[in-house]
Amino acid sequence: MNAISNAIATRDNGPGALVAQHREDIELVMPSHMQKRVGAWVRTTQGLLRRDEKLLKAAQNDPGQFMAVLLDAARLGLEPGTEQYYLVPRWNNKKGYTEVTGVRGYQGEIELMYRAGAVSSVIVEVVYDNDRFEYRPGRDKRPLHEIDWDAVDRGELRLVYAYAVMKDGATSKVVVLNKGHIAKAMAKSDSAGQSWSPWKTDTEAMWLKTAAHRLTKWVPTSAEYIREQLRARADVAAEQAPPTAALPQALTAGPDEDEVVEGEFVEDEVA
């Protein structure tokens, strides 16, 4: 087999081909609104592998781990290789090689909040040294953040904050993190010190992600929230419904004892 044939065989049996082979599995775990885009999702992932040699090598080292990460992204309905969901080659000391790990980005955290249906808007912003920022819990409903958009240099990253405005107009808990909080979050990341880590390549985005992730403790991020709200409304409606008037005996009488009635129970599901 010549060099060209070898290259074709490697390509056809590589991670890109693996993604295509598992297209049905990926589609199966995706949220329904994403399933019609599964073809584009697969092609985008294959394109990432072609453009990033380190990512391709990590995927080749452990194809099973790579597919597990992709299925996680698909289950969440997030786009891999974007600020919704990073694909990161990470060194695994136990295995002795790099593997692909998934890291939810700040846009992914925000997307999950919107999808749950409880919020009308999500605000996540970084504060630089030259910005004006004021927020006193208990006094201020929301932070005051003023930016000089004409400034050539806003200084260094100082703070990051996040909050959501709920559908009823209420403001969620306001999350404010400083450099110390960010340093603790970085310390929990095995890859933070690596040159390819998003902590190095996209520092501001990782600050935003950390604040957005902290906000998820206070804001629903699951579509189950919608179903619970609908169930609660249905229960209240049922309790408030007027009682049914008693029907005449002739209309309420059931079948004779010897009569066999065929039927089925239908359970209404609240989507």
Are 135 and 143 in contact by the 8 Å Cβ rule? The answer is yes
In this prediction, residue 223 carries a pLDDT of 56
Q: What does each of the 271 residues of the chain score in pLDDT, given as a tens digit?
A: 444 334 433 445 789 999 999 999 999 999 888 898 999 999 999 999 999 999 999 999 999 999 999 999 999 999 998 889 999 888 888 999 999 999 888 899 999 999 888 999 999 999 999 999 999 999 999 999 999 999 999 999 999 999 999 999 999 999 999 999 999 999 988 777 777 788 888 899 999 999 999 999 999 886 554 555 455 555 555 566 565 555 444 433 444 433 333 333 333 443 3
> For residue 121, what are the contacts with CB-CB under 8 A and spacing of at least 6?
164, 165
- The pTM score is 0.69
CB neighbour list of residue 218: distance below 8 Å, 6 or more residues apart: 164, 172, 173, 175
Q: What is the pLDDT of residue 247?
A: 44
Q: Return the pLDDT at 238.
A: 56
* pLDDT score at 195: 75
Angle 136-139-140 from CA coordinates, rounded to 5°:
70
Of 212, 204, 121, which is closest to residue 175 (Cα–Cα)? 212
Q: Are 160 and 127 in contact (CB under 8 A)?
A: yes
| Residue 50: per-residue pLDDT | 93
Query: What confidence score (pLDDT) does residue 260 get?
Result: 35
CB atoms within 10 A of CB 59: 28
Six token digits for residue 193: 């010190």
Contacts of 38-45 with CB under 8 Å at 24 or more apart are 41/74, 41/79, 41/80, 44/79, 44/80, 44/81, 45/16, 45/19, 45/70, 45/80, 45/81
Assess contact for 10 and 56: CB atoms under 8 A. Answer: no
- Going from the C-alpha of 125 to that of each of 122, 161, 234, 239, the distances in angstroms are 10, 6, 38, 44
